[in-house]
Amino acid sequence: MLQRWVASPEGKRLQVFNAKTGKRLPTPLELEAARKAAEEKALTEAGARKAAEAELKRLRAEIERLKKPGAARRGAPRRTDL
């Protein structure tokens, strides 16, 4: 990959650009911040997925319970306003 080096606008660091595309390459700090953000997002999504799976398991058990004869009398009252 061809690279082009340019001083930052404030003159305190070098910026590296892809000479072919003209896009600035991320700094090591930017790469680390992006990695941390991706890890946090993955953890959040994993927690949401685990909660959804637990709710699905609970709902399936409730459906099976309601399929049994006499379940409406043993469980929650029937909803007649549907």
> Which residues make beta-bridge pairs with 15?
6
The model's pTM: 0.58
The domain spans of the chain are: 15-66
What is the reported pLDDT for 32?
97
CA distance 24 to 18: 6
Contact 15, 8 (CB under 8 A): yes
pLDDT tens-digit readout, 30-75: 999 999 999 999 999 999 999 999 999 999 999 999 998 876 665 5
Segment 3-32, tens digit of pLDDT:
666 777 777 778 888 888 989 999 899 999
For residue 4, list its beta bridge partners.
Answer: 17
In three-state form (DSSP H/G/I as H, E/B as E, the rest C), the secondary structure along 34-76 is HHHHHHHHHHHHHHHHHHHHHHHHHHHHHHHHHHCCCHHHHCC
